[in-house]
């Protein structure tokens, strides 16, 4: 086996050691995505902690700002999040307690809760904008624009069969 490994080229990713470490090529790719997410998320966790936010809370603010001046139903926000958030009500509670969003119930449908960003929430997003650009540059700035474009295409292809038909990520 060691002779076989020695004769394989450095660029050959289907080596015996690779198959020994993973049950399948799909598992290797999935675990590589997971590891990459973990390494890159650490940069954002550090950044958002400085603003007493989580990445999910930031995403809720960003989505609310995109709809401004309209207000968005809570369930629509939940569908638009990058990752699922079973505790969206608790996240919105925290944002509202800080004055970053406001929630209302329309008089014609008391079961619906509408969410809108406040001026304070918009100001926080403006404050975060440049540090977040720097964070993304630290995360992926070492890659060429062509590599980034290819990565976006590959990631879209990987998730496409699993996206809902109305997803904005299609």
Top-ranked range on mean pLDDT: pick from 66-75, 80-89, 158-167? 66-75
Q: What is the pLDDT of residue 5?
A: 39
27 has pLDDT over 70: yes
4 has pLDDT over 70: no
Contacts within 8 Å (CB) and 24+ apart, 154-163: 158/29
Beta strands in 35-146 (DSSP E): 72-73, 101-104, 114-117
- The Cα 38–Cα 49 span in angstroms is 16
pLDDT digits (tens, 9 = 90+) for 86-114: 889 999 999 999 999 999 998 888 889 99
What average pLDDT does range 134-160 have in this prediction?
97
Greatest Cα pair distance, the chain, in angstroms, is 75
Which residue in 80, 116, 77 sits closest to 99, CA to CA? 116
Beta-carbon count within 10 A of 127 CB? 11
Beta strands in the chain (DSSP E): 72-73, 101-104, 114-117
Phi, psi (rounded to 5 degrees) for 101: -135, 165
Structural domains of the chain, ranges and CATH numbers in brackets:
18-153 (1.10.10.10)
Phi, psi (rounded to 5 degrees) for 127: -65, -35
- The Cα 114–Cα 64 span in angstroms is 10
């Amino acid at each position: 086996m060691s002779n076989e490994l020695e004769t394989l080229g450095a660029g050959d990713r289907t080596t015996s050691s690779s198959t020994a470490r993973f049950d399948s090529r799909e598992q290797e790719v999935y675990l590589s995505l997971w590891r990459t997410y973990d390494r890159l998320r650490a940069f954002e966790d550090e950044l958002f902690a400085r603003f007493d936010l989580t990445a999910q809370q930031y995403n809720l603010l960003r989505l609310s700002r995109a709809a401004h001046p309209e207000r968005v139903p809570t369930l629509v926000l939940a569908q638009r999040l990058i990752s699922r958030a079973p505790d969206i009500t608790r996240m919105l509670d925290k944002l509202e307690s800080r004055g970053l969003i406001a929630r209302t119930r329309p008089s014609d449908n008391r079961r619906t809760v509408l969410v809108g960003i406040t001026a304070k929430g918009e100001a926080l997003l403006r404050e975060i904008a440049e540090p977040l650009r720097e964070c993304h540059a630290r995360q992926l700035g070492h890659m060429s624009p062509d590599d980034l474009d290819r990565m976006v295409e590959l990631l879209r292809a990987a998730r496409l069969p699993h996206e809902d038909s109305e997803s904005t990520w299609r």
